Every structure is written in structure tokens, then in C-alpha cells.
Amino acid sequence: MTMYDLIERLDEEEEEKETEEPQKEDPLGKKMAEFFLQSRTILLFEQISPKVTRRVITQLLFLNEQDPKKEIKIFINSPGGVADDGLAIYDLIKLIDAPVKTIVCGLAASAAAIILVAAKKENRLALPHSRIMIHQPLGGVRGSTKDIEISTQQIVRLKQELNEILARETGQPVEKVAQDTNRDYWFTADEAKAYGMISKTVTGLSKI
């Protein structure tokens, strides 16, 4: 069984639990996924959910175990998702020994922007027409007055944590990041470079 087969089986088991229907085999999709895994390339082209996080973390751990000195590329085109899932991937990128390069090809918003900056600054790239967005964590709070108070404290703590990460990875003062993330803050690729989110824009695969 290949690593792709293992990841696919885990995903299929999860989907079958949700739909109670067996998943149809996709030979072309399987072949493409195996190709990208063999080339040490991870595609993050969807909303960041627990399922996506499990897949990305599994791939990172496998590729690091396979060769901890060889680069892993993560191509990002994602609207973001749950902050905790984004932080889990961020922490894994920091944890493994293999160097990671993140490349935005479209959109890196919210939690996806946190994953983007997990790579060393010189390894953070974007295609020319990419967009990047940072903001404060979103969360609906319900329950008793005490539960609302606890949840609000956690959101404030998470906001501070995300601001500190962005400040550390971009070189911006944390006060500026806090001000910028009070609302959706959008960057073009060039603006992201000036801010410190990426090191450069690229126009050819040979430059990645």
C-alpha cells in the first residue's frame, strides 16, 4: 500500500461515515495525487477543515520521514477556515526538519495566510495576481453568561496569538498587525512582499 492509498483510505472512511455510501474510485485523481506526493508537493486548494488538516499533516510527516533534508512545496489557494486547524499545520511546518516552501497561487486568506508564513521568509512566494488576506478570528458565541465570558476570553487570546505570529514572521510591529487585523486586510502580491508576508513574486516554475 502506497502512502497515497493510506491517506485516501482514511479520507474514504471519514466520508463514508458522513454519507454512509461507498466512495467511487477515481484512477486519474489517484495517479495525480501520487505524482504530487512523489514530487514532494502538497496542494492546499480548499477550505481548511479538520479533514484537510489531517491530510496535510499526514503528508508533511510522511515526506519529512522520507527525507528530512529535502524540500517540501505547499501550493496554496484557500479561503482559510478554522484558526485551530491553520495553527496545527503552522506548528507542524515549524516542527519538521524538512525545509518547506509555501507558494500562493490565487488566494491565501485567514488561516491559509497563517500557513503561508510558517515557511521561512525566503521560502514564501506568490504568483503575480495572488491575493492575501489577514483578519481577526471569527467566532459565534452562545450559551450561558459564564460560557460566553469564557469563549470571549479565548477569542481574545487567539487573536493576540495570531497577531504575534504575523508580527514575528513579517517583522511588523505587533501593534500595527493588531490594527490591520481589526478588519479584513487585503494585499496584492506586491503589497504582501512590502509587508513581509512573502519574499518575492514568481512568474516561472523554474524560479520556485
Residue 97 phi/psi, 5-degree rounding, is -85, -30
For the chain, where are the alpha helices, taking DSSP H only? Answer: 3-19, 27-38, 50-66, 83-95, 111-116, 145-170, 174-180, 189-195
Residue 70 host element (H or E): none
Compute CA 126 distance to the chain's CA centroid, rounded to the nearest angstrom: 14
The residues near 127 (Cβ < 8 Å, ≥ 6 apart) are 103, 104, 105, 106, 189, 201, 202, 203
Known catalytic residue: 135? yes
The residues near 133 (Cβ < 8 Å, ≥ 6 apart) are 80, 107, 108, 109, 110, 113, 184, 185, 186, 187
Of 135, 151, 199, 206, the active-site residue reads 135
Cβ-contact 170, 176 below 8 angstroms? no
Of 110, 129, 144, 206, the active-site residue reads 110
Cell of 132: 492575501
Query: CA–CA separation, 164 vs 193, rounded Å?
Result: 19
Give me the active site residues, please.
Answer: 110, 135
